[in-house]
């Protein structure tokens, strides 16, 4: 992010989800940016997503945690739509959703009258969006072909941490966004209550699928680097419940659901006192 060369070891995490491999997280001493060292390149990382229940790309409802996830998603879809309407000042407009997954959010905005373009890397997720929502979701290559200044809003819901070509993507996003448009990014927060409690076990580190790890201060710096100003930031306190339950399951805890719910509740109260302690954060950017 800053070009600095003063790097230090931050933490070592295990891929509890797919491979069991360990990866080191490295922190820049100059700007505080944390990244996953030695992560597979884009052409090789696909196998780390290849499990039947990767929750952002499926509609599985079996199991208590998955059911909780889907119920919370219903609430968050409405909240996200209201956020876009308020920050863009538009009831209808043009929207680009990058990493749309199975298409729930893109469909929500389409139902509200927005003209939606959506991008998703996973063929299975694109097929799901087509089958269930009649969404024609583009592949990631389509990003280069969109016209400049063509979107009132661009969204990346828990996608930015996965993008290999981070700087190049943000340069393109700046060009695609209209002058009064909004860029909305949601990412996990490694300075959250639950991250500090669980340390290397914290499920939202999600190595090696998560390449980058953004604290609120780092997120603001990254926006400035690419010509944006941070206009708003909002907590996503529900994330702490799911992340904590998943973390307890990774730890092999008895009563992982209840323990995760308790930690999620404590994290919720922590974010009420200081929103920057939330498990995940939503950032609203505008052009400078």
Q: How far apart are CA 272 and CA 270, in angstroms?
A: 5
147-182 as b/e, with b when 16 or more CB fall inside 10 Å? eeebbbbbbbbbbbbbbeebeebbebbbebbbeebb
Q: How far apart are CA 133 and CA 185, in angstroms?
A: 23
* Pairing status of strand 228-235 against strand 177-188: unpaired
pLDDT, residue 209, reads 95
Report residues of the chain scoring pLDDT below 50: 55, 57
pTM, two decimals, is 0.93
pLDDT, residue 90, reads 98
**Which residue in the block uniquely carries the two structure tokens 């969109």?**
146
pLDDT, residue 29, reads 96
**Which residue in the block uniquely carries the two structure tokens 């920050």?**
87
Model confidence over 71-94: pLDDT tens digits?
778 889 999 999 999 999 999 999
pLDDT, residue 72, reads 77
**Is the N-terminal amide bond of 63 cis, ω within 30° of 0?**
no
pLDDT, residue 73, reads 80
């Amino acid at each position: 992010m800053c070009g600095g060369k003063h790097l230090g070891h931050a933490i070592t995490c295990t891929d509890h989800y797919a491979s069991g491999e360990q990866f080191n997280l490295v922190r820049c001493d100059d700007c505080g940016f944390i990244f996953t060292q030695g992560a597979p390149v884009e052409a090789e990382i696909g196998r780390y997503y290849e499990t039947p229940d990767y929750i952002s790309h499926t509609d599985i409802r079996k199991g208590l945690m998955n059911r909780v996830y889907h119920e919370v998603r219903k609430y968050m879809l409405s909240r996200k739509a209201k956020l876009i309407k308020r920050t863009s000042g538009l009831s209808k407009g043009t929207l680009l959703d990058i990493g749309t997954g199975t298409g729930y959010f893109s469909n929500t905005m389409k139902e509200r009258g927005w003209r939606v373009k959506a991008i998703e890397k996973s063929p299975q997720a694109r097929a799901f969006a087509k089958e269930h929502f009649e969404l024609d979701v583009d592949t990631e290559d389509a990003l280069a072909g969109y016209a400049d200044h063509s979107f009132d809003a661009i969204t990346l819901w828990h996608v930015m941490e996965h993008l290999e070509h981070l700087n190049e993507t943000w340069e393109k996003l700046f060009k695609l966004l209209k002058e009064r448009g909004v860029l909305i990014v949601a990412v996990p927060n490694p300075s959250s209550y639950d991250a500090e409690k669980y340390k290397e076990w914290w499920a939202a580190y999600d190595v090696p699928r998560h390449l980058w790890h953004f604290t609120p201060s780092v997120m603001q710096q990254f926006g400035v680097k690419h010509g944006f100003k941070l206009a708003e930031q909002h907590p996503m306190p529900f994330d702490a419940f799911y992340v904590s339950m998943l973390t307890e399951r990774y730890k092999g805890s008895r009563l992982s659901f209840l323990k995760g719910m308790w930690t999620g509740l404590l994290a919720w109260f922590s974010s009420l006192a200081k929103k920057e302690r939330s498990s995940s954060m939503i950032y609203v950017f505008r052009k400078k």
